[in-house]
């Protein structure tokens, strides 16, 4: 339960911050008040002009530290002026899904059939894991690699403590209050998500474990660095940050089936929005937008004119 419910809830982990500054709109940015208002929030975003309107893509990272100087109120104001909002995929979890988790929890939290971590890892990987376990008084020998990865990021980096409002929450609440039509990029069945995770062998999560160990070894400063670069619009630096890399290497994003679906749906939803009148505001995971071959690359390849910070 410790691993599944937080993931279902999402559908998913010391540089000094800059003083908050309103970004100056680029010369090519549309003369659109909502775009200017959204940009002044400080969140990195990209705009696409269409024959009938504008699409605003807000690049979201989760667990933004409270010390990060961004202005959620500006994004809230922009949301209220939008004609429609698109938010991330939302799992539909039934009572039956919860019961399945309760009665088969060990299947998700432990390695199968009393096997141990050293049976799946190279000698170097096992030595690293042992060293980290000893340093933090943890026994990772029987725990699932995915649970171990999430626990290391949460406990050792504390990346999800003392966090500020996140763009998707700001936009969702503002849209609800202003009665702006809101859709989800997709609706995923809880049963399908659980089955996807249950069917994955331990080896499918080794890359996640490696990346989590890299992040922990890099130290807690990377949490602030990631957020500071997000606020500075240094997108390649955010993507290269060991914490962001670890989150992107872990389930569900790294899963061949589910991760691919989560990316494809965004390209389809944005292409659909390009035919709508008025302004569409979408909050998209930054890793899905800016990764190599990601949403921005795919939209660029389709000929969309994208304005915003460099993403590669």
Mind listing the pLDDT tens digit for each residue in 260-308?
777 888 999 999 999 999 999 999 999 999 999 999 999 999 999 999 9
Residue-level pLDDT at 192: 72
Specify if 302 maps to a domain.
no
Q: Which residues pair with 209 in a beta bridge?
A: none
Q: Say if residues 205 and 149 touch (Cβ distance below 8 Å).
A: yes
127 contact partners, CB below 8 Å, separation of at least 6:
none
Specify if 19 maps to a domain.
no
Specify if 293 maps to a domain.
no
The candidate with the shortest Cα–Cα distance to 254, out of 218, 297, 222, 210, is: 210
Specify if 238 maps to a domain.
yes
Segment 33-54 mean pLDDT: 95
Query: What is the C-alpha to C-alpha distance for residues 5 and 23, in angstroms, rounded to an integer?
Result: 37
Give me the number of domains the chain comprises. 1
Specify if 222 maps to a domain.
yes
Query: What is the C-alpha to C-alpha distance for residues 54 and 27, in angstroms, rounded to an integer?
Result: 16
Specify if 213 maps to a domain.
yes
Mean pLDDT over the full length of the chain: 86
Q: Which residues pair with 84 in a beta bridge?
A: 280
- Domain holding 122, by residue range, is 1-8+94-255+264-282
Residue-level pLDDT at 7: 43
Residues comprising the chain, all counted: 312
179-221 pLDDT tens trace: 999 999 887 776 777 777 878 899 999 999 999 999 999 999 9
Specify if 40 maps to a domain.
no
Task: Give strand ranges (E) for the chain.
Answer: 45-50, 53-60, 84-87, 90-92, 182-184, 187-189, 278-285, 306-307
Specify if 271 maps to a domain.
yes
């Amino acid at each position: 339960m410790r691993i599944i419910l937080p993931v279902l809830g999402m559908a998913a982990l010391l540089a000094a911050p800059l003083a908050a500054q309103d970004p100056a709109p680029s010369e090519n940015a549309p003369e659109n008040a909502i775009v200017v208002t959204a940009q002044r929030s400080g969140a990195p975003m990209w705009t696409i002009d269409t024959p009938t309107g504008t699409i605003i893509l807000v690049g979201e990272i989760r667990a933004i530290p409270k010390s990060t100087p961004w202005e959620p109120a500006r994004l809230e104001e922009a949301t209220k002026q939008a004609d429609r909002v698109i938010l991330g995929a939302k799992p539909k979890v039934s009572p039956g899904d919860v019961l399945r988790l309760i009665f088969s929890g060990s299947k998700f939290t432990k390695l199968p059939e009393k096997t141990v971590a050293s049976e799946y890892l190279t000698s170097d990987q096992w030595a690293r894991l042992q060293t980290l376990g000893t340093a933090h008084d943890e026994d990772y020998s029987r725990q699932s690699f995915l649970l171990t990865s999430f626990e290391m990021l949460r406990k050792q980096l504390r990346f999800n403590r003392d966090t500020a409002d996140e763009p998707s929450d700001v936009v969702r609440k503002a849209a609800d209050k202003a009665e702006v039509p809101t859709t989800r990029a997709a609706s995923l069945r809880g049963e399908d998500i659980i089955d996807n995770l249950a069917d994955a062998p331990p080896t499918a999560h080794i890359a996640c474990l490696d990346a989590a160990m890299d992040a922990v070894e890099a130290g807690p400063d990377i949490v602030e660095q990631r957020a500071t670069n997000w606020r500075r619009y240094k997108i390649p630096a955010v993507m290269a940050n060991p914490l962001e890399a670890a989150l992107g290497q872990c389930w569900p994003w790294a899963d061949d089936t589910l991760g691919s679906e989560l990316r494809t749906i965004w390209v389809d939803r944005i292409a659909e929005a390009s035919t709508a009148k008025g302004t569409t505001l979408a909050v998209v995971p930054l890793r899905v937008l800016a990764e190599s071959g990601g949403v921005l690359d795919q939209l660029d390849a389709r000929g969309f004119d994208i304005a915003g910070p460099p993403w590669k």
